[in-house]
A and B are shown apart, each in its own frame.
Chain A
Amino acid sequence: MVHRLGSFARPRVLRRVVTIGVATALVLAACGSDNKSNSSSTAAPGGTAGGGGSDKSLVIARQMDVNSLDPSRAYCDTCQIFMTAVYETLIGLDTDNKTLVPRLATSWEANDAQTEFTFHLDPKAKFADGSPVTSADVKFSWERLKGLQGAASYLVSTVQTIDTPDPETVKVTMSQPNSAFLAQVNASYLGIVNSKVAQAQGATADPATDKAETWFLSNSAGSGPFELADYTQGNELRFKRNDNYWGTKSQFPEVIIKETAEAATQRQQLEQGAVDIAMQISNDVAQGMGGSDVTVNPVPSFNYVYLALSPGAVGGDALKKAEVRQAIRLALDYDGLVNVTVGGAGKSQPSPIPNGFAGTDGLAPPKQDVNKAKDLLSQAGETNLTFDATYPTFNVYGVDFSTAMQKVQTDLKAVGIELKLNPVEISVWADKIGKDGIPVTMLYFAPDHTDSSQYVQYFGLLPGSQWQTWAKVDENKDETDLLNQAFAAKDDTSRAKLYNQLAQMMIDDQIIIPVVNPNLFLASRSDIKGMHYSACCNLDLSRLSRG
């Protein structure tokens, strides 16, 4: 082997020098120019809609659980924010989280029997493309919501016919008395879609013919203060200001919801000014937050996390015995759960109707009784049970599901029940619960509107309700009867009494066991005004401003 000496002198040295030089240049360029582009300086380079200037975009950090951006199919916490911003409802909710106020409808009436509702639309109301919002659009939107049978369709289940006597009047006839309808109309999922635009994209009320879902992933057709600019799953949801908005335009040319899974990262981004609002700060992460730049304000919320038992699921046969379910309920260390999940910044909750809603007065808080639980199990002859516990990994209301489930696992082990924990991505969870069901699982719920009926319609064992379907159990006819009575009730007191009975019935069903009702940490930069928690809509972007 002969090696030649000599002439390839330069290449190696040269290469190293060049590399070091380039690296240094890069570093210098970075340090030099970055003093102005990092931290919360003004106008973003690269140009945003509206030409920059003093109005920066609003950036929100949260983990998104978007299942769809189709207004008739969307049903998730992030979807509430989206729907409220893009597709307006006829009726809005005031800042007190109780009073209904006009929005697309200036006024409304209901007949005594609560079977006919008439809405008068605001003639000024326009969609983002300039066309007026008419009764035909309301009819199309609600019929499509009902027809496509998405998860939010339960809100219009009692709607029988929608008449449009003139472009500004909508008359809705119910299949039964429904005193909750006005609250339901306020739910973000009943936002109104531009029917002409949607139909041009193949939107229909029939799932066999509807083609528009994919179009809705990158386009919107609403009348709200924002439009959908872009959605990249796992990355961001971008709104652009509707410059044709018929109401008061937003100050923000753009709102970006940035997918940020971890509360700690959200905090970091907030403190460094990279985001303006962090929506899922947990109690642990909130320790030490605050100061002049960042405001953190814990408020009670109606959101909660719950354990769900599905007797009809594959592997859940033992749960068919009421004693077993009751034993599980008695085995849980409720105070410990509140401590472990939110460090005490929250409450336990007896029934699926959250604290503060009609019907919850006087309900006894859940109590742990390990001995009684063990007795019940041995009475039922089930002493060594094992259940599959698949649950979604999701950052919800500051509660880490894995932490909560491990605590539940420990509590149940003490009474002789073994849980096989299986954390999965929420889409995988949704597939599983829809198909085989899951014996023991955990989920969360935020209110869709201000009436207690939603909890019965979602959690109660009514035919076709979400949890009756998922848990694969028989319906509870008494609940259906009571709910109809509640719908027909004419005053709040009698309604509250009925919901109280319903709440107790749902407790006795032993299908849904609320685990914690956490406080919500409203975390934002101190220059953001209007930060709030909405009982219908999660976060109403139109209420936010800067300065």
Chain B
Amino acid sequence: MPLLLAGIATLVFVISRLTPADPLVSIVGERNLNNPEVVAAAKAQWGLDQSVFVQYVKYMKNLLHGDMGTSFTTRQPVTSDLLDRLPATLELVICALILGVSVGVSLGILAARHRGSIIDGIARFFALLGASLPAFWAGLVLLYVFYAQLGWLPGPGRLDTRDTPPSRITGFYTVDSLLHGDISTFGNAVRHLILPATVLGLGVVGIVTRLVRASLLDEFSLEYVRVARAMGLRERTVVNNHALRNALLPTITIVAFTFAFLITGAVLTETVFSWPGVGNYAVEASRRLDYPAIIGVTILGGIAFLLTNLVSDVAYAFADPRIRLS
């Protein structure tokens, strides 16, 4: 695991040095090249006038201290930028996860129980549709219909333009406003979450439906299900109370995997909905060639992926009595 983290950091370092530009420019920015103080400080911290190997060592050392450099655009340390923006992304991703998993599980059960029938076909069709939609385009379509034309839902952003966010406890506008007892801001935040979470959730639905369906069908072919049916248990009981429990073991892995997928999908969804999260930060950084920010976000993405895999392994081991008891 630590080797993987080191590997991630190394790969990002290599990518950042791929640029044909002078690494000094990548770290300090063209505009600051005239500022001798900034240049000297950068050279000392990142070892830019020394060999690539020394630069690499300094880079890793800085990383271990949590220093990913200073963003050109915000002039703040990248680490604090990311921490500022992380709650916004997490709030969105968790909502999308809840939405996507609940719809996906339901659709998957439906499809498995009515396997082969038209319900199965429709459920699978929608699942596939969700997985094929370009997320940014779906966001635009929904904005056009529900915001521009119908005016039912608010537009881009986490809150209405005039509202001030609740003072930060977790950074989640929904949680914070509830903690402050501010119901109207809570409602506002939830309304702004609906469209982006739906867009993100669509892809999740696709994945989860297919996996739940497949897993359930696997379970159905096993003996204990036949026994249960033979014993006269109602189909619903068989599915919900017995087969589902076992079928959903891989679902934990699935949830972790979709979490990772959501981080990816969030990048474009945040752009379309002007959501000030990590994904938006990544896109802006790529457009502006803000190398420290690009490096920071990419490393964060790698770490997030790794963490979710780790958590899913642990959760799986915990949930599956076979592994737990062995």
Touch A–B, Cβ below 8 Å: yes
Q: Nearest residue in B to A36 (C-beta to C-beta)?
A: B184
Assess the B30–A34 pair: CB atoms within 8 A.
no
Out of A8, A45, A232, A260, name the residue touching B185 (CB < 8 Å): A45
Assess the A16–B102 pair: CB atoms within 8 A.
yes
Assess the B163–A37 pair: CB atoms within 8 A.
yes
Flag whether A183 is at the interface (Cβ < 8 A).
no
Q: Which of A58-77 contact B (CB under 8 A)?
A: 59, 61
Flag whether B232 is at the interface (Cβ < 8 A).
no
Given the interface contacts A16-B105, A29-B183, A274-B155, does A217 sit within 8 Å of B161 by beta carbon?
no
Stretch at the interface among B1-9, B282-290, B294-302: B282-290
A-B contact list, 30 entries, CB within 8 Å: A3-B224, A5-B224, A5-B242, A8-B241, A19-B98, A22-B98, A26-B190, A27-B190, A29-B187, A33-B186, A33-B187, A34-B184, A34-B187, A45-B163, A45-B182, A45-B184, A46-B165, A46-B166, A207-B35, A214-B75, A235-B276, A258-B161, A265-B156, A268-B155, A274-B155, A274-B162, A427-B290, A431-B289, A434-B30, A435-B30
Give A56 to B162 CA distance when docked, in angstroms: 9
Output the least CB separation between A133 and chain B (Å).
29
The interface bits of chain B over 283-326 (1 if a CB of A lies within 8 angstroms of the residue's CB, else 0) are 01001111000000000000000000000000000000010000
Extra inter-chain contacts (11) besides given A3-B224, A33-B183, CB under 8 Å: A9-B241, A16-B105, A30-B194, A37-B188, A44-B164, A45-B185, A59-B161, A234-B73, A256-B162, A260-B274, A275-B161
Q: Nearest residue in A to B194 (C-beta to C-beta)?
A: A30
The interface bits of chain B over 229-264 (1 if a CB of A lies within 8 angstroms of the residue's CB, else 0) are 000000000001110111010000000000000000
Assess the A29–B188 pair: CB atoms within 8 A.
no
Flag whether B67 is at the interface (Cβ < 8 A).
no
Give A134 to B201 CA distance when docked, in angstroms: 60
Flag whether A251 is at the interface (Cβ < 8 A).
no
Assess the A425–B163 pair: CB atoms within 8 A.
no
Q: Nearest residue in B to A214 (C-beta to C-beta)?
A: B75
Flag whether B66 is at the interface (Cβ < 8 A).
no
Q: Nearest residue in A to B98 (C-beta to C-beta)?
A: A19
Assess the A13–B241 pair: CB atoms within 8 A.
yes
At the interface, is chain B mostly helix, strand, loop or mixed?
helix
Q: Which residues of B contact A424 (CB under 8 A)?
A: 287
Flag whether A403 is at the interface (Cβ < 8 A).
no
State the B residues within 8 Å of A (CB): 25, 29-31, 34-37, 72-75, 98-99, 101-102, 105-106, 147-148, 151, 154-156, 160-166, 182-188, 190-191, 194, 222, 224, 227-228, 240-242, 244-246, 248, 274, 276, 280, 284, 287-290, 322
Give A32 to B25 CA distance when docked, in angstroms: 52
Q: Which residues of B contact A272 (CB under 8 A)?
A: 151, 155
Q: Which residues of A contact B274 (CB under 8 A)?
A: 259-260
Out of B164, B224, B244, B288, name the residue touching A46 (CB < 8 Å): B164
Assess the B182–A46 pair: CB atoms within 8 A.
yes
The interface bits of chain A over 24-51 (1 if a CB of B lies within 8 angstroms of the residue's CB, else 0) are 0011011111101110000011111000
Assess the A431–B245 pair: CB atoms within 8 A.
no
Output the least CB separation between A208 and chain B (Å).
6
Assess the B102–A12 pair: CB atoms within 8 A.
no
Q: Nearest residue in A to B290 (C-beta to C-beta)?
A: A427
Q: Which residues of A contact B186 (CB under 8 A)?
A: 29, 33
Output the least CB separation between B37 and chain A (Å).
8
Out of B105, B163, B284, name the residue touching A44 (CB < 8 Å): B163
Give A1 to B282 CA distance when docked, in angstroms: 47
Assess the A428–B188 pair: CB atoms within 8 A.
no
Given the interface contacts A5-B228, A34-B184, A34-B187, does A44 sit within 8 Å of B30 by beta carbon?
no
Output the least CB separation between B10 and chain A (Å).
26
Flag whether A57 is at the interface (Cβ < 8 A).
yes
Give A32 to B182 CA distance when docked, in angstroms: 13
Given the interface contacts A13-B240, A33-B187, A428-B289, does A233 sit within 8 Å of B74 by beta carbon?
yes
Q: Nearest residue in A to B227 (C-beta to C-beta)?
A: A5
Give A11 to B246 CA distance when docked, in angstroms: 12
Flag whether A380 is at the interface (Cβ < 8 A).
no
Q: Nearest residue in A to B231 (C-beta to C-beta)?
A: A5
Q: Nearest residue in B to A426 (C-beta to C-beta)?
A: B288
Output the least CB separation between B107 and chain A (Å).
12
Assess the A274–B161 pair: CB atoms within 8 A.
yes
Out of B154, B165, B222, B290, name the residue touching A38 (CB < 8 Å): B154
Output the least CB separation between B241 and chain A (Å).
4
Flag whether A430 is at the interface (Cβ < 8 A).
yes
Q: Which residues of B contact A1 (CB under 8 A)?
A: 222, 322
Assess the A46–B185 pair: CB atoms within 8 A.
yes
Q: Which residues of B contact A34 (CB under 8 A)?
A: 184, 187-188, 191
Give A3 to B164 CA distance when docked, in angstroms: 54
Give A197 to B128 CA distance when docked, in angstroms: 62
The interface bits of chain A over 244-264 (1 if a CB of B lies within 8 angstroms of the residue's CB, else 0) are 000000000000101110001
Assess the B288–A268 pair: CB atoms within 8 A.
no
Give A232 to B227 CA distance when docked, in angstroms: 63
Flag whether A299 is at the interface (Cβ < 8 A).
no
Assess the B30–A57 pair: CB atoms within 8 A.
no
Output the least CB separation between A38 and chain B (Å).
6
Give A275 to B245 CA distance when docked, in angstroms: 50
Assess the A269–B73 pair: CB atoms within 8 A.
no
Out of B34, B98, B288, name the residue touching A427 (CB < 8 Å): B288
Q: Which residues of A contact B248 (CB under 8 A)?
A: 12
Q: Which residues of A contact B37 (CB under 8 A)?
A: 208, 211
Assess the A234–B191 pair: CB atoms within 8 A.
no
Q: Nearest residue in B to A427 (C-beta to C-beta)?
A: B288
Q: Which of A235-292 contact B (CB under 8 A)?
A: 235, 256, 258-260, 264-265, 268-269, 272, 274-275
Give A272 to B143 CA distance when docked, in angstroms: 14
Output the least CB separation between B152 and chain A (Å).
10
Q: Which residues of B contact A47 (CB under 8 A)?
A: 164
Q: Nearest residue in B to A35 (C-beta to C-beta)?
A: B187
Flag whether A113 is at the interface (Cβ < 8 A).
no
Output the least CB separation between B309 and chain A (Å).
23
Flag whether A20 is at the interface (Cβ < 8 A).
yes
Output the least CB separation between B70 and chain A (Å).
10
Output the least CB separation between A509 and chain B (Å).
27
Given the interface contacts A5-B224, A11-B245, A38-B188, does A20 sit within 8 Å of B35 by beta carbon?
no
Q: Nearest residue in B to A40 (C-beta to C-beta)?
A: B162
